Amino acid sequence: MLGVSVRAGILVTGTELLTGSVSDRNGPWLSERLGEIGVEVAAILLVGDRPSDLEAALGFMRDEGFDVVVTSGGLGPTADDMTAEVVGNFAGRPLALDEEMEQKIHNILKEFAKRLRFDPEALRDANRKQAMIPEGATAIDPAGTAPGLVVPAGEQVIVVLPGPPGELQAMWPLAIETPAARGVLDRAEPLETSSMRLFGLPESEIAQSLREIEQDADLSGLEITTCLRGGELVVDVRSRAGSEDALEALWAGLRERHDRFLYSEAGEMIDEVIAGLLDGRTIAVAESCTGGLLAKRLTDRAGASEYFSGGVVAYSNEAKTALLGVPEELIAEHGAVSPEVAEAMADGALERFGADVACSVTGVAGPDGGTEDKPVGYVCFCVKLAGGEKLARDPALPGNRADVRERSTMVALHLIRYLLQGREPPR
């Protein structure tokens, strides 16, 4: 951990976040923004809408000595939206009506009420509450109907933002430009971020490498995070000015040890890497068990139409024959999940789409359909160039249906990369 001068806590309120039915998007978004300006996020705390929950949470963040607390939620017009009042009390700043803000909210609601055919007066009453501002706090103009607040609270500054992600994101830049927020945030030293992505390497190996590299080089100026997702290992590094040598030593050490697994040093995702490697060529896919996921991943990127010709999701045997020209006899002889059928599917995709590169996936995603020879998780891949060069694999992948589909997609993407790079995958 770096010698960070400004620490923050994020406090997200909303009972719906505690039932598991909704995932919090504001915590991660705020973390990223705070990190970019050099503020270390030390905790993200999700609590319900009750004032007592909120008070306890604010108390925790004061006890921890956080310089900045950012709250989201509880600024709406209803009686259980209590954040402004609780934060005001916590900071020893009673609420008072801000008449200018009241007029602003009135004007916003007038339009809103007209569109939805509500009684504008009733709405205004319900929303006058939203113009109540703690004494000495700075109000932030609403992106929706709720104003935000920047509230000095002893040593801390508390930034109060509404819960809807669109509103919170629109108001954040205004909030951090207020003098009260600047007073704390200007003490933070922005960090450089960089990352490296590897595929197929266990996390324990990276941990071992980091220990080894640390014996030869002082990495204390770096904050290193490793994280594993779907077989991809991402090494994220934040560094302060003056740590360039440490950063170079880290990357050189990882490159030296794990070159075979390394596929991106600039943080690009695998679909971006493939887009670059295709370099004007086109690609098509033929999928069975991944059911469209591979095509989806290749078209997530804006501009995918420049190189993605298309794909066939050939779920039934008939579809494999009709749409990809896989001979019925081949399926009868080897089974739909076989290296032979995988190659025929890739051939079919090359030919039908007139593509330069094709990738096929056929496997047993489960939960049913597994046999002793071909258990759930057995998946056959074939990547082929129009010129005939190919790369085929048929691993047994672990996990449930969703895992097998996700992992198969990742394996397929990386096999495409290996073939385009002219490299042999490890193992």
The answer to whether residue 123 forms part of the interface with a second copy (CB under 8 A) is: yes
Q: Which of 3, 21, 388, 422 binds a second copy (CB under 8 A)?
A: 21
The answer to whether residue 370 forms part of the interface with a second copy (CB under 8 A) is: no
Show the CA angle centred on residue 417, arms to residues 413 and 420, nearest 5°.
140
Helix axis angle, 401-421 to 270-278, nearest 10°: 30
The answer to whether residue 413 forms part of the interface with a second copy (CB under 8 A) is: no
Alpha helices for 68-98 (secondary structure H): 83-90
Site size toward a second copy, by CB under 8 A: 104
CB 363 within 8 A of CB 392: no
Q: Which of 107, 220, 225, 371 binds a second copy (CB under 8 A)?
A: 225
Shortest Å distance, C-beta 179 to a second copy: 26
The answer to whether residue 99 forms part of the interface with a second copy (CB under 8 A) is: no
Neighbours of 57 (CB within 10 A): 23
The answer to whether residue 259 forms part of the interface with a second copy (CB under 8 A) is: no
The answer to whether residue 51 forms part of the interface with a second copy (CB under 8 A) is: no
Shortest Å distance, C-beta 250 to a second copy: 16
The answer to whether residue 334 forms part of the interface with a second copy (CB under 8 A) is: no
The answer to whether residue 67 forms part of the interface with a second copy (CB under 8 A) is: no
The answer to whether residue 261 forms part of the interface with a second copy (CB under 8 A) is: no
The answer to whether residue 17 forms part of the interface with a second copy (CB under 8 A) is: yes
The answer to whether residue 318 forms part of the interface with a second copy (CB under 8 A) is: yes
Helix (H, G, I), strand (E, B), or coil: what is residue 335? coil
State how far the Cα of 97 lies from the Cα of 233, in Å rounded to an integer: 52
Give the nearer residue to a second copy in terms of CB position, either 289 or 383.
Answer: 289
The answer to whether residue 194 forms part of the interface with a second copy (CB under 8 A) is: no
Give the nearer residue to a second copy in terms of CB position, either 126 or 278.
Answer: 126
Q: CB neighbours of 131 closer than 8 A, spacing ≥ 6? A: 97, 98, 99, 101, 102, 104, 105, 147
User: Taking contact as CB under 8 A, which single stretch among the options 96-104, 258-266, 365-373, 381-389 is the one that binds a second copy?
Assistant: 365-373
- Give the Å distances, CA to CA, from 287 to 4, 293, 335, 378, 419: 48, 8, 15, 14, 18
State how far the Cα of 355 lies from the Cα of 187, in Å rounded to an integer: 55
